[in-house]
Amino acid sequence: METIDSRFFHDPLFLMEESLRLQQDGLLLDSSAYSISAQCLEHNIKFHSTLDIKPVLNVAIGYLMMGDLSQSEKWFDFVIYHEPNNAVALMNLAAIFNQTNRKSQGSELLNAAYKIQRLYIEPIDEPCRKLLILTLGKEAANIPLYPLLSLGRNFNIKYAFDYGSPEEDARLPEFDLIFNAVGEADYLKPYVQRMKELPYLYQKPFLNDPLNVLKTQRNQIQDVLRDVPGLVLPHYERFELISEKADQLQAVLRHSLHYPVIIRPEGTHGGDGLKIAHQSKELIEAVSSIQSSFYLANFINYQSADLNYRKYRVIFVDRIPYFYHLAISSHWLVHYYSADMLSHDWKIEEEKAFLQSPESVLGNARMTTLLEIGQRLNLEYVGVDFGLMPDGSMVIFEANPTMLIHLESISGPLAYKNEYVKNILQAFEDTLERYSSTKPID
**pLDDT of the chain, 442 residues: tens digit per residue:** 567 888 999 999 999 999 999 999 999 999 999 999 999 999 888 877 788 999 999 999 999 888 899 999 999 999 999 999 999 999 899 989 988 889 889 989 999 999 999 999 988 889 999 999 999 988 789 999 989 998 989 999 999 999 999 999 999 999 999 999 999 999 999 999 999 999 999 999 999 999 999 999 999 999 999 999 999 999 898 887 665 555 666 666 666 688 899 999 998 877 778 899 998 888 888 888 888 889 999 999 999 999 999 999 999 999 999 999 999 999 999 989 889 999 999 999 999 999 999 999 999 999 999 999 999 999 999 999 999 999 999 999 999 999 989 999 999 999 999 999 999 999 999 999 999 976 544 4
Compute the half-sphere exposure of residue 340: CA atoms within 13 Å on the CB side of its CA: 8
- Assigned domain for 253 exists: yes
Residues 154 and 175 in one domain: yes
Residues 136 and 64 in one domain: no
Check residue 400 and give its pLDDT.
Answer: 95
Angle between the N-to-C axes of helices 87-99 and 69-82, in degrees from 0 to 180, rounded to the nearest 10: 150
Parent domain of 371: 309-435
Check residue 439 and give its pLDDT.
Answer: 53
Check residue 441 and give its pLDDT.
Answer: 47
Residues 269 and 349 in one domain: no
Check residue 107 and give its pLDDT.
Answer: 87
Residues 260 and 190 in one domain: no
Question: Across-strand partners of 133?
Answer: 158, 179
- Assigned domain for 97 exists: no
Check residue 2 and give its pLDDT.
Answer: 64
Going by C-beta distance under 8 Å and a sequence separation of 6 or more, which residues neighbour residue 16?
Answer: 34, 35, 38
- Assigned domain for 110 exists: no
Residues 69 and 159 in one domain: no
For 214, the 3-state DSSP assignment is: helix
What is the C-alpha to C-alpha distance for residues 225 and 399, in angstroms, rounded to an integer?
Answer: 10
Check residue 273 and give its pLDDT.
Answer: 81
Strand ranges for 80-143 from DSSP E? 119-122, 129-135
Residues 313 and 425 in one domain: yes
Question: 2-41 burial string, b = 16+ CB within 10 Å, else e?
Answer: eeeeeebbeebebbbebbeebeeeeeeebbebbbbbbbbb
The total number of structural domains in the chain stands at 4
Taking the alpha carbons at both ends of the chain, their separation in whole angstroms is 54
- Assigned domain for 249 exists: yes
Report the CATH number at residue 257. 3.30.1490.20
- Assigned domain for 80 exists: yes
Check residue 252 and give its pLDDT.
Answer: 64
- Assigned domain for 91 exists: no
Residues 61 and 149 in one domain: no
Side-by-side strand order, sheet with 129-135: 119-122, 154-160, 129-135, 177-180, 206-207
